[in-house]
Structure 1
Amino acid sequence: MTDAPNRSVERGFAIVDELAENGGGRVSELAERLEMPVSTVHDYLRTLVATGYVTREGKEYRTTTRFLEVGHRHRHRLEIYKAVRDQLETVAAETGEHATLLIEEDDQAVILAVEEGPDAINLFAYPGARMPLHVTAPGKAMLAHMPEERVESLLEGDLVSVTSQTVTDPDRLREQLEAVRERGYAVDEGERIAGMVCVAAPVLDKDDRLRGAICLCGPESRLDESRRAEIGEVVERAANVTQVNLDYV
């Protein structure tokens, strides 16, 4: 039997998410958006302030850097974060583009680390940012190496469209995942960010378990067909080095 979710915890995190999404808020604003009584929201905020996860300035409430501290500690415990070492910095410098390390968590691709090369476009990518697996190259690189039953379950779900180029047809996605397995890396052409091309390779450990994906992104004008193959070799090499490092973490 599955335990019912704790309503109090759900409400507390709903308030935190609302504060984070909007950069802060007042009690009455939060109560209206979350459809909660003002007194209830006020009680939750008072507790969150007391624990140090929310701060108050006048009538405005905001999340604090305590969440950054929690995420930072968790990230440093992950083997793949240790194993990637200087790889992101190296590939970002070598290609001049935007490099990221992502992992899969709760059926989403999550950015774990970011490095920007000298020519990189600011994508407002940051550790902790989440995105659907099917809309981006690193997500597809990871999907291609997940158990078939799980992949089918995800493809049968709600495949949201992020841009006009996002692929949401399950059959097309299956074809793309097969191409990833054959080629060794995944590509998305403006499927998550219009005008940007991303190339990603999966990181597997010595037991072929999926650990994450290394991704490079740049504008379509720079990542033409010939350069995508070059970038594909770069991310595959970085993924291979990371895989070797995983054996020694």
Structure 2
Amino acid sequence: MTGTSNRSVERAFRIVDELAENGSGRVSELAERLDMPVSTVHNYLQALVSTGYVTVEDKEYATTTRFLEVGHRQRHRLEVFKAVSDELQDIAAETGEHVTLLVEENDQCVIVAVQEGPDAVNLFAYPGARMPLHAAAPGKAILAHMPDDRVREIIDRQGLVEMTKRTITDPDVLFEQLERISEQGYAVDEGERIAGMVCISAPVLDKGDRIRGAICVCGPQSRIDEARREEIAEIVQRAANVTQVNLDYV
């Protein structure tokens, strides 16, 4: 019975993911894309409509903002989100660039909050967006403060997917870089996830030195030279330190 229940939940979320990815769809379209019987897809959709997580109009199904409500509640439960306070807004104003707060969840890097400075490039980043840990500065900042065994487990499960030609795909190279990140206190990726972009990130640790998240600034390579990278590194490290102190009071 448990196996059947698990498969039912998996099928329901496959349908939800498909709707979220494509915006909407009819029963027959979803059944074809998911390789599931039309009757099965229809039954799941009716259940999702009855719970308020999916809506239907003119036989076209789509997810609802109930998911936004769930995500909003979950975000406000995160202590690091409450602790970051106005730091992201201040960084965006000071650097003019794209600023994010991210956490690790299920072996991935997840955006929790976004602030855009006046010169920020539109990266189509939004709360809830996910990315591989190894291919992004905040992900590497987080990995650098995990035990090596945990990092190896993540690599075994997720692999080191190549996002661009500059993505690290060799575990030995990754571990060497994580050691440097741990020593210098911040991480950099130069077009490893998005070609042409430089991202600089500092880890947020609690008083027990446990990793709680990372603060990141991203901008075009043409605008962030070596001197500016050092300047931004100091800014994100300072913000991470303030957030660490704030964690004691949330």
Please say whether Structure 1 and Structure 2 have the same fold, judged by a TM-score greater than 0.5.
yes
Q: Does 1:78 align with 2:78?
A: yes
Query: What amino acid maps onto 2:181 in structure 1?
Result: V
Deviations 1:69-107 (A, max 9, x none): 000011111111100000000001000000000000011
CA 1:155/1:40 → structure 2, altered by over 3 Å: closer, same or farther?
closer
Q: SS state of the match for residue 115, structure 1?
A: strand
Q: Is the 8 A contact 1:189 1:196 kept in 2?
A: yes
CA distance in 2, matches of 1:151, 1:51: 38
Given that 1:187 and 1:199 are in contact with CA atoms closer than 8 Å, whether structure 2 keeps it comes out as yes
3-state SS of the aligned residue for 1:101?
strand
- Who is 2:191 aligned against? 190
Partner of 1:159: 160
Is the partner of 1:213 in helix, strand or coil? strand
Q: Give the partner amino acid of 1:174.
A: F
Task: Please say if 1:108 is aligned against 2:108.
Answer: yes
**1:218 corresponds to:** 219
The count of aligned residue pairs is 247
1:139 match: 139
Distance 1:200 1:147 in 2: 19
Quickly say closer, same or farther: Cα 1:48–1:123, change in 2 above 3 A: same
Q: Which residue of 2 aligns with 1:13?
A: 13
Cα distance between partner residues in 2 of 1:208 and 1:182: 14
State the secondary structure of the residue aligned to 2:36. Answer: coil
Spell out the pairing of 1:2-41 with structure 2 (5 A cutoff).
Answer: 4=3, 6-41=6-41
Mapped to 2, the partners of 1:27 and 1:194 lie a distance apart of 38
How far apart are 1:155 and its partner, in Å? 3.3
Alignment match, 1:235: 236
Shift of residue 154 of structure 1? 2.5
Matched, 1:176 2:177: yes
Unaligned 5+ runs, structure 2: none
> C-alpha distance in 1, partners of 2:154/2:42?
38
Question: Any conservation in 2 of the 1:156–1:170 contact (CA below 8 Å)?
Answer: no
Partner of 1:131, secondary structure, is: strand
Identity %: 74
Q: What's the CA shift for 1:225?
A: 1.2
Question: Could you tell me how far apart the structure 2 residues matched to 1:19 and 1:180 are?
Answer: 39
Q: What amino acid sits opposite 2:48 in the alignment?
A: L
TM-score normalised according to structure 1 size: 0.97
TM-score, length-scaled by structure 2: 0.97
Deviates more, 1:184-193 or 1:144-153: 144-153
Which residue pairs with 1:130 in the alignment? 130
Runs of 4 or more, structure 1, over 3 Å off, are none
Which amino acid in structure 2 is aligned with residue 167 of structure 1? I
Letter in structure 1 aligned against 2:178? L
Q: Whole-Å Cα distance in 2 between the matches of residues 68 and 154 of structure 1?
A: 28
- How far is 1:153 from its partner? 2.1
Q: Which amino acid aligns with 1:6?
A: N
Aligned-pair distance for 1:156? 4.1
Displacement after TM superposition at 1:58 (Å): 0.3
Structure 1: stretches of 5+ with no match in the other structure: none
